[in-house]
Amino acid sequence: MGKNKLKKFADLEQNPLVLQYPFGPLSAEPFALRGRWGADFFGNDLPIVLELGCGKGEYTVGMARADASRNFIGIDIKGARIWTGATAALRAGMTNVAFRTSIELLERFFAPGEVAEIWITFPDPQMKKASKRLTGTRMMGVYSHVMAPGGRIHLKTDSPFLYAYTRLMALRNGLDVGLNIPDVHGSDEGPEYLRDIRTHYEQQWLDRGLTIKYLSFTVPATDALLAEPPEAAELEPDTYRSYSRGYIQM
């Protein structure tokens, strides 16, 4: 492991906006902030918004700056990634933002109804395994256990496959689809930060001439019987990869 990465891990250990918690103790006792994020961490009762797969935290920090009426928590599996956003938020003295590592075990960290919204920004589309998609029916079931009834999930993606799949999944399961924007930067719909905040990956895709898509829909009811859309089997896969591995089919 490089010295720079080791320094980032050391910084995160000292950053009060970052909560890293080992999985082991969760099997014996609940997470101390579960059900009490507002009162004990943020010191208010404002709605809580999660960003899953937050990467460097650009979106988490950007939304927190743009909207002081909500608390934002960025979550990513790799701690070194969140260093950029967590450090920026700490230096700016922000009080409505936090970071956690690992998307797994959401139900151990958040109580039923504690989360108002979830943002999923530029996730791996997982074209071969629906069970691993952050907008797949398995994860929808997880979200339903921590989100308030009627809470909204927001997807922002470069992937035509994931965008189409998610819309089919939402319609198949009777989830209310709100804004549906096939080209975010070619539209004036939605909040300004939908266009103004650009993550590292978003700028990469824009530089390659790809359009950015956005979809919002309601969380399913807790314990709803969700079904995968059969039409998804006919979707064309994406024809590009990251800069070093692929191409764009024009």
Residues marked as catalytic: 124
Rg for the chain (alpha carbons), in Å?
18
CB atoms within 10 A of CB 113: 14
Give the separation between CA 166 and CA 228, rounded to whole angstroms: 10
User: Is residue 99 classed as helix, strand or coil in its secondary structure?
Assistant: strand
**Residue 37 to residues 33, 63, 82, Cα–Cα distance (Å):** 5, 18, 19
**Burial of residue 211 (number of CB atoms within 10 Å: 0-12, 13-18, 19+):** middle
What token pair was written down for 165? 């799949």
- Which bin fits 228, alpha (ψ -120 to 50), beta or left (φ > 0)? beta
Q: Which of 119, 217, 130 lies closest to 173, judged by CA? A: 217
